[in-house]
Chains A and B, each alone.
Chain A
């Protein structure tokens, strides 16, 4: 598979680190942002092929980020995988227009599979 640009948005540095490591291991180019207010700016700048997005973040929730993306034509096709430890995360993610939801704690194999599936 071609090298793709994956953007990770999560407020937890540990999760960012784990996701960066696995995405690099499977051969993608990874960028991350731990402040959801900056995600829009980063997306515009780096034009990622896929976004891995946490739901429950301070300042701006993943739900709001997703709503923003889905309401802007230049971003509404961006594949988004939502990751969350909330029990009702899946409902929220689906309602906001996520392509895939993966519950925390996640299985890295699942993340890799989902990323591959969405990038194809």
Chain B
């Protein structure tokens, strides 16, 4: 019934021609493709299409009219939607599908297709009206969205796994660490405790978490000084460092605990929390004390026979016949030198042990600095008359320090100067005031040392490679000197060049004006 010439067709005998023209114009103005198929003809051919249908499909009207609309599916024949469509048409029902169609140029487009049957008075289907919308962009967007969602979900899964992994990793570290750890909130309530804490104090998680630190056990942590320090952590960010608590703890008895506490440096949910690490150092301290005691006893026991040897040597010297040979005399002199060296070594061993365990006792008193230096220099002059030790300058200052330790440093620097400058007999000692410090320099004109040696010379057991060949030793003398000067808030340093000798200098803070007369 296509009247071809003007796209008009007869829908109803009653319809006025102008009405139909108006309807046709309306359909052509639509963005949706509209087709009408004739169900009474074989294969349900398209008998009408509007302008939009041509635009959507790319086909022109002459390619469309008379064809079954399956041409839009091209070779893509196995879609589920096609079966739905075929069944609805066969049964004369309406349906809505989204189906893949192909434009004339072969491009895929997603067609949102609504098919509605038109029935005659007898209820028989005469036509189908098809409304088509190109929803490719929407389908693409939906597809992209789905894909993004999948990607996102995958990422979230991966991140969650990673987080779980790192959480498990961290907690395994925290649980493995051989130090009791507590996390506290700003009111010092325990938020969490690690396994080692529970094991150390033989307590359960239930009697620990949720309680205030100061209420734990038999109030072992309720110490005014510790409270003061902990209160300052959050506002000032000052950590509690190496706070020792010796206490008779429930279940475990008398122990020495070492406490360190820090503010947790996170924002968000971990903000304003305190990490408290508690270490049982009872055994370590006992071992240190035992080692110290052992070395004290050992050095005492070694010195006793040494005293006797020295005594007998001196008695023999006193009984030396006047006509004793020069060789005899000098051999005797050497015995004395080696007795002194052995004595110094014993002393150094004890010093190193005490420095390492932090048990270096200082007997601090005010003394006349210049007199102490003069005495040390005189002592060395008497021992080593072969060298010319010049003492220059004066400070007039007094110093509050352990005089025997400072004298030990001066003596050590002097004996080094003598030892490492065998070909030069000249040694200069300079003392001076430098701001609020006194400064001592011991200058020799001997071997000097390389830059590498200068850097390491104050390290424990360090021996310069060249030095070790010519002058065997333990490498602890300067280490001890450095530690002694550090203990007195001064500094010890060296300036030296190979072949040009060395200058060892140290500074010490001067004492303030004497309080009593």
Contacts and interface: CB of A to CB of B under 8 A. Distances in A.
Contacts of A108: 311, 314-315, 318
Contacts of B307: 12, 14-15, 18, 85, 104-106
B116 interface: no
Contact of B304 (A12, A22, A90, A109): A12
Contacts of A15: 304, 307-308, 311
Given A85-B299, A86-B296, A107-B314, A18 B304 contact: no
Interface in A69-120: 85-88, 90-91, 104-109
A77 B361 CA distance: 31
B303 A85 contact: yes
Given A19-B311, A107-B314, A87 B350 contact: yes
Q: Which applies to chain A's interface (DSSP): helix, strand, loop or mixed?
A: helix
A94 to B, nearest CB: 10
A56 B303 CA distance: 12
Contacts of B305: 12, 14
Interface in A11-26: 12, 14-15, 17-19, 21-22, 25
Contacts of B363: 88, 91
Interface string B297-318: 0011001111111111011001
Interface of A: 12, 14-15, 17-19, 21-22, 25, 56, 85-88, 90-91, 104-109
Nearest to A107: B314
Q: How large is the interface on B (under 10, 10 to 19, 20 to 34, 35 or more residues)?
A: 20 to 34
Contact of B306 (A17, A21, A86, A105): A105
B343 interface: yes
B318 A14 contact: no
B347 to A, nearest CB: 8
A18 B315 contact: yes
Contact of A14 (B299, B300, B308, B361): B308
Nearest to A83: B307
Interface string B327-355: 00000000000010001000100100000
Interface string B149-187: 000000000000000000000000000000000000000
Given A25-B318, A91-B363, A85 B300 contact: yes
23 contacts: A14-B305, A14-B311, A15-B304, A15-B307, A18-B311, A18-B312, A21-B315, A22-B311, A22-B315, A22-B318, A56-B300, A85-B299, A85-B303, A86-B300, A87-B350, A88-B363, A104-B304, A105-B303, A105-B306, A105-B339, A105-B343, A106-B307, A107-B310
A107 B340 CA distance: 11
B361 A88 contact: yes
Contacts of A25: 315, 318
A104 B350 contact: no
B367 to A, nearest CB: 14
A54 to B, nearest CB: 9
Contacts of A106: 307, 310-311
Nearest to A56: B300
A17 B305 CA distance: 12
Interface in B204-231: none
Given A85-B303, A104-B303, A12 B308 contact: yes
Given A18-B311, A106-B307, 5 more contacts: A12-B305, A22-B315, A22-B318, A105-B309, A108-B314
Contacts of B343: 105
3 shortest A-B CB distances, which residue pairs? A18-B311, A14-B308, A85-B303
Nearest to A22: B315
Contacts of B303: 85, 104-105
Contacts of A12: 304-305, 307-308
A82 to B, nearest CB: 14
Interface centre among A19, A25, A86, A87 (most CB of B within 10 A): A87
B308 A17 contact: yes
A104 B310 CA distance: 10
A42 B296 CA distance: 30
Contacts of A87: 296, 347, 350
A64 B310 CA distance: 28
A88 B350 CA distance: 12
Nearest to B305: A14
Interface centre among A15, A19, A105 (most CB of B within 10 A): A105
A96 to B, nearest CB: 15
Nearest to A84: B300
A69 to B, nearest CB: 23
Contacts of A17: 308
Interface in B356-411: 361, 363, 404
A66 B331 CA distance: 40
Nearest to B308: A14
A78 to B, nearest CB: 23
Contacts of B304: 12, 14-15, 85, 104
Interface centre among B303, B304, B363, B404 (most CB of A within 10 A): B304
